[in-house]
Structure 1
Amino acid sequence: MAGIKILENCTIRVTPPNQFNDPFEFASYGTGIIDRGHIISLIEDEQLLLERYKLIAKDSGMSLEQYREDQATLLSDNGRLQQEIATATQLYMEWAAHFVDQVSHNAGVVCLTEDDTSILMWSHYASNHEGLMIGLDVDRLPYLKLFNVEYTTEHQLPIDLSRVHLMEYLQEQYVAIMRRKFSVWGYEKEYRMQFHFSVCEQIPAIGMWFYRFDPEVVRSVTIGMKCKIEDREHVLSLLAEPRFAHVQVKEAVKDKTEYQVRYKEVRPASAI
């Protein structure tokens, strides 16, 4: 059972966006032409000039001073500047079209829910009520971003490349794309945590990333109403370990008259 593995190893899977099961997620496309002023500001930025020199011009034998003069000439050559704008626009268009692959190189996502009483969530994500629901103290985790998902019927998010303050705008759109999901998934009431892979561990044999957390991150464990006896005993044995002494333990039960999941306490929470 996946929930038992989480408790045994104190690890949680961090999934690259391009490995999500819904291929319609993280979709975007670029529109417009990059603002002339934005390109000029990039060319005039000394730090960016040094980075471009290392990536592009250094291998050509051009000295840094020669490259600096070349870039200054570019600013006064309207034809070259227009070509630079066209090239940059095309690059940003490709970035927008392949957003999901771009963000999957360095970071992954952990998906959570704010709804701890959903029959659908128990059915879909806890092995038909045989699994566990684990409550986490997310404030103890080193995530890059934490955001609630916005559900929509609009498939792809347009990215307007003509914005004057393009870099700030792209940061806003980055979050907007990461938190969008088709409205049919609304029952999940999902939250997403984004982790940089530098704080994660990869298991090459299975191609998966995991974040290893401290036991104090676990706040509660709820055992599914159809959990197998041997799994229930295993879970209770794990939670009896000193590292989980603070964890509240509950069991899910069916309401006798309504479509509701109820919980009975097996062990109360205690202070860490």
Structure 2
Amino acid sequence: MLYKYLDPDRINILESGLIRFTQPSDFNDPFEFKPVASTLASKAEIDKYVDQYMDEILQVELKKYPLEVRTLIPLKQLKLITRQLYSQNLPEIEKKLVEMGSATTQLFSDKSNELIGVLSLTENNSNLLMWSHYARSHKGFCVGFDKKSDFFNQTRSRKDEFYHLRKVEYCKDRPISRLTQLSGVELLLIKSEAWQYEQEWRMCAALTDSSSSFTTDENPLPIHLFEFPKTAVKEIILGACISQDNKDKLLGIIKTNEEYNHVAVKQAIISSKQFKLEFIDL
């Protein structure tokens, strides 16, 4: 199972079957979806491109001139001059590619907030810090999802970056690569080692596929909700400090909804001897 810690205000997700996929800029890590590209492409990649396409490019450009102009210089000599110019201007070309790499990664970071939503889950249902940070100081609840549910396995192709669960990777340093070498992992799944305690898994989705969206006065970004099957819910844990009112609401939803008949319901309690949580069945 994988778990989602939730604020008590979000009890309604169990009724609606809708859960938020969050934009990167709404995360609490300022490094989210901010890859570092050393350059757009390497010299070897540029050389390969020149070798592969120079003839084609020259032919296209030559056709723009009258026939009498095209015959003034043999094609072989034109290729030689072009290569000389390429070599002479390579330092400036490489400088521009570095600038383009930086600009492109910034564009990705900006546009990801308009296009990509992320559902974050965790392997750990008893982390004291996560209960505090994401479940309003243990007043909320935690939902355990079946990671084998079809909902979490909607891969459309072998290289698909969306609609399936993947484990976040934690690194000491930010990965720096050529833009052509940046992988989906480096773009979407790399975080600092400082977050390793979260043991996070992610599923990314296109925000245009959301079931509904709305705006609030408190949040400048639209809230995008995606429908999930209630059969994917396997466990619900009530926070150690949950109010009696919210506890009654949660239990009422679970008991009156036949689709949750299979769900195990537990109460988190504070251990009397250790800094840990214990769970009892309800």
TM-score (normalizing by structure 2): 0.71
1:179 to 173, 179, 189: 189
Q: Which moved more, 1:179-188 or 1:126-135?
A: 179-188
1:159 to 154, 171, 177: 177
- Judge conservation of contact 1:39–1:85 (CA < 8 Å) in 2: no
Report the residue type matching 1:178 in the other structure. L
**How has the CA–CA distance of structure 1 residues 256 and 95 changed in structure 2, closer, same or farther, with 3 Å as cutoff?**
same
Q: Which moved more, 1:23-32 or 1:242-251?
A: 23-32
Report the residue type matching 2:24 in the other structure. P
**How has the CA–CA distance of structure 1 residues 69 and 123 changed in structure 2, closer, same or farther, with 3 Å as cutoff?**
same
Alignment pair present for 1:243 and 2:259? yes
**Post-superposition offset of 1:4:** 0.6
Alignment pair present for 1:125 and 2:137? no
**How has the CA–CA distance of structure 1 residues 126 and 41 changed in structure 2, closer, same or farther, with 3 Å as cutoff?**
farther
- 2-structure distance, mates of 1:131, 1:218: 17
**How has the CA–CA distance of structure 1 residues 190 and 123 changed in structure 2, closer, same or farther, with 3 Å as cutoff?**
same
- 2-structure distance, mates of 1:238, 1:71: 73
Match of residue 202 from structure 2:
192
**Post-superposition offset of 1:220:** 0.9
**Post-superposition offset of 1:33:** 5.9
**Post-superposition offset of 1:254:** 1.6
- Judge conservation of contact 1:11–1:213 (CA < 8 Å) in 2: yes
Report the residue type matching 2:275 in the other structure. Y
Map residues 1-272 of structure 1 onto 2, 5 A cutoff: 1-32=8-39, 34=41, 35-37=45-47, 39-40=49-50, 69-70=60-61, 77-78=82-83, 79=85, 90-139=99-148, 140-141=150-151, 142=154, 143-154=162-173, 156-161=174-179, 166=180, 169-170=181-182, 172=183, 174-206=184-216, 207-240=222-255, 241-266=257-282
**Post-superposition offset of 1:30:** 2.2
- 1-structure distance, mates of 2:62, 2:246: 66
**How has the CA–CA distance of structure 1 residues 33 and 25 changed in structure 2, closer, same or farther, with 3 Å as cutoff?**
closer
**Post-superposition offset of 1:235:** 0.6
**Post-superposition offset of 1:231:** 0.9
- 1-structure distance, mates of 2:48, 2:207: 31
- Judge conservation of contact 2:235–2:265 (CA < 8 Å) in 1: yes
Report the residue type matching 2:272 in the other structure. K
**Post-superposition offset of 1:16:** 1.5
- 2-structure distance, mates of 1:217, 1:71: 62
- 2-structure distance, mates of 1:97, 1:246: 46
Q: Which moved more, 1:80-89 or 1:191-200?
A: 80-89
- Structure 1 residue runs without a partner (length 5+): 45-65, 267-272
The structure having more radius of gyration, on CA atoms, is 2
TM-score (normalizing by structure 1): 0.73
- 2-structure distance, mates of 1:223, 1:71: 73
Report the residue type matching 2:188 in the other structure. M
**Post-superposition offset of 1:122:** 1.2
Report the residue type matching 1:196 in the other structure. A
- Judge conservation of contact 1:30–1:97 (CA < 8 Å) in 2: no
Please state whether the residue corresponding to 2:165 is helix, strand or coil.
strand
- Judge conservation of contact 1:43–1:71 (CA < 8 Å) in 2: no
Aligned length: 236
- 2-structure distance, mates of 1:228, 1:22: 29
Please state whether the residue corresponding to 1:138 is helix, strand or coil.
coil
The alignment-based identity, stated in percent, is: 24
